[in-house]
Amino acid sequence: MYKIIKFLVLSSLIVSCARVGSPSGGAKDITPPKFISSKPDTLATRVNPAIKEIVVNFDEYVLLKDIAQQVIISPSPRITPSITPLSTARKYVTVRFFEPLLENTTYTINFGSSIQDNNEGNKLDNFSFTFSTGDKIDSLQVNGNVKQSLKRELVEPIIISLYKVDKDKSGKDSINLKNKPYYISRVDSLGNFKLDHLHEGKFRLLAFNDLNSNLIPDTEKEIIGFYPEYISPGKDMRYDIVLSPAKEVYKVLGAEQDGQGSIKVKLKGNPDKLSLTPIDPSITSYKVQHQPFSDSLYFYFNSNEIKKTEKKFRVKLLLKNNQKADTINLLYDNTLKSDLALSPVEKEITPTSSYLTLKSSNFIKLIDKNKIEVSKNKQPIDFSSQIDSLNAKQLIIKFPVSYDTEYKVTLKDGACKDFLDQKNKDTLSYIIKTKRQNEFGNLKIQLKNKPSSKFFFQLLNEKYDILENIYGSEDTFTFQNLNPGKYLIRILVDENNNGVWDKADVDIFKPAEPTYLYPNMIDVRPLWNINEVWIL
């Protein structure tokens, strides 16, 4: 029995010693995998265009991570190659092609940071592999920098690309942005880029943030930048690119019922002026609300006046934008009811912004000032009331405001009437307590070398939300009674003086209008008066 137990213990020790794993103790491995060899050799020439695979060998077991976001093959094959290993570690990386390569062409496979060792995950950064199907390795290059027009920091990942210019059927120069670029690379975190091993030719240089990792610019969702002229690669060619939202082609996306007697039309292309009229003769009284360059339009009418008994009926509208006309056909639910309800818009009220904004569930038609009261420390004060000129679903009540004071705004029953001739049924009261003066800070910005045309001067928070948007040509801007916090300043130049900041037009390769971003975050503190001079 003793011999049997001794045999089992020895067997257990032998099995334990034979297990494969990482050695315990000692310094942690921080060395990335090392390239050993490849087939074909790196920088090889006269590689057969019909090659099926490339094998790259390393000194230890490796895995590939985030291939779609990291690995780029340039020029881009039409069919995406297969790249392994993904789950089972090996001492080599394989790239398999599913179509013949181009003849007399230099290819570069940039693995980014996708290659890492199996044990510690140490990354081999910026590893690339180059070969040619011709007699030489192309040596031309394009360098440069990318920045954003509306933000200080870059939104990664950003692709830099060259599209080869071809001739269309009419003999004009053209490129197809629905295809992958001919040459392609990634922009680093500082915005620098380098396209290497290029051959001579006529190209368009574009950059875009490739959100869906398909290596194709999506101008509806991705920001884009480009050099406005054709380029030809050289030995040391450098270009600066600015990423901006792209101008969209005008299009009616559809319409939906937005409550009783209210229809919302969704648009693309941010049109300036629109005309909307009902085709149905039973709709005789209506209003249209569309803020210039907005992507939505509201059509509202008093459905109680329409003498129809059906629970649902068709509403047809004619929408015109310049010479383009669209017919909107909507199934309207006549049983849907929308009561009038009011609620305050959350907003700091100070001596600078001395008004209360109330939002309504329906479009407001009339205000009865006699049924509104405003008091200061329980004493009545004078005020004014109006419907917001840009948004008929908002009511503005203005009154003089002091620091460290309590105000009460009361709307009695029937103070507001909506377009359905409904009135607010209950008395509504809002208590407002303003802060002390020493709880705010003030900011003054003086511009030097201001733009020659009008511009939008914007005060932003850290999230780039627009707090103030001032259009004009002044050189001094003062913001009083700011809550303590960090702020950003941005200028959007309106070069053509059309009252809007124009986005990038990819169809004619016209860049977006210029922008300026104040280089530093501004820290506003209580009781501080900050004076900044901004030299553009």
Could you read off the pLDDT of 246-279 as tens digits, one per residue? 998 889 999 999 999 999 999 988 888 899 999 9
Q: What is the pLDDT of residue 15?
A: 36
- Say how far apart CA 419 and CA 260 lie, in whole Å: 10
Phi-psi region of 497 (alpha: psi -120 to 50; beta: other; left: phi over 0): left
Q: Is the pLDDT of residue 1 over 80?
A: no
* Cis-peptide, bond into residue 157, ω within 30° of zero: yes
Q: Locate tokens 């209003």: which residue? A: 287
Here the tokens at position 261 are 């007697």
> What is the arithmetic mean of pLDDT over 118-136?
92
Give the whole-number percent of the chain exceeding pLDDT 70.
95
- pLDDT of 28 over the 80 cut: no
pLDDT-wise least confident of 165-179, 210-224, 400-414, 456-470: 165-179
pLDDT given for residue 26 in this prediction: 56
**Cβ atoms 350, 287 nearer than 8 A:** no
Q: Which domains does the chain have, with CATH numbers?
A: 35-132 (2.60.40.1220), 140-243 (2.60.40.1120), 251-333 (2.60.40), 342-435 (2.60.40.1220), 439-535 (2.60.40.10)
Cα distances from 12 to residues 4, 19, 21, 215, in angstroms, run: 13, 11, 17, 55
* CA dihedral sign, ordered 499, 503, 505, 511: positive
Give the DSSP H or E segment for 70.
helix 67-70
Q: Which of 128, 119, 194 is nearest to 161 (CA)?
A: 194
Under the banding of pLDDT at 50, 70 and 90, the label for residue 13 is: very low
Q: Would you state the pLDDT for residue 19?
A: 34
- Residue 209: which residues within 8 A CB-CB, separation 6 or more? 155, 156, 157, 158, 159, 222, 223, 243
Which of 505, 517, 515 is CA-nearest to residue 228?
505
pLDDT tier for residue 535 given thresholds of 50, 70 and 90: very high
H or E segment to which residue 7 belongs:
helix 2-18
Nearest of 271, 364, 358, 283 to residue 321 by alpha carbon: 271
pLDDT of residue 367: 96
Q: Lowest-pLDDT range, 30-34, 169-173, 315-319, 434-438? A: 169-173
> pTM value?
0.83
Distance in angstroms (rounded) separating the CA atoms of residues 1 and 526: 86
At 507, list the tokens: 């169809």
Does residue 489 contact residue 463 with C-beta atoms inside 8 Å?
Answer: no
In the three-class reduction of DSSP (H, G, I as helix; E, B as strand; rest coil), residue 60 is classed as strand
Distances (CA, A) of 284 to 280, 290, 388: 9, 19, 24
Among 11-15, 314-318, 521-525, the least confident range: 11-15
Question: Which of 500, 491, 470 has the alpha carbon at shortest distance from 534?
Answer: 491
What does 438-470 look like in DSSP terms, one character per residue?
A: GG-EEEEEEEES--SS-EEEEEE-TT--EEEEE
Higher pLDDT, 207 or 154: 207
pLDDT at residue number 68: 87
Confidence of residue 14 (pLDDT cuts 50, 70, 90): very low
- Compute the mean pLDDT over every residue in the chain, rounded to the nearest whole number: 90
Task: Report the distance separating Cα 480 and Cα 196, nearest Å.
Answer: 52
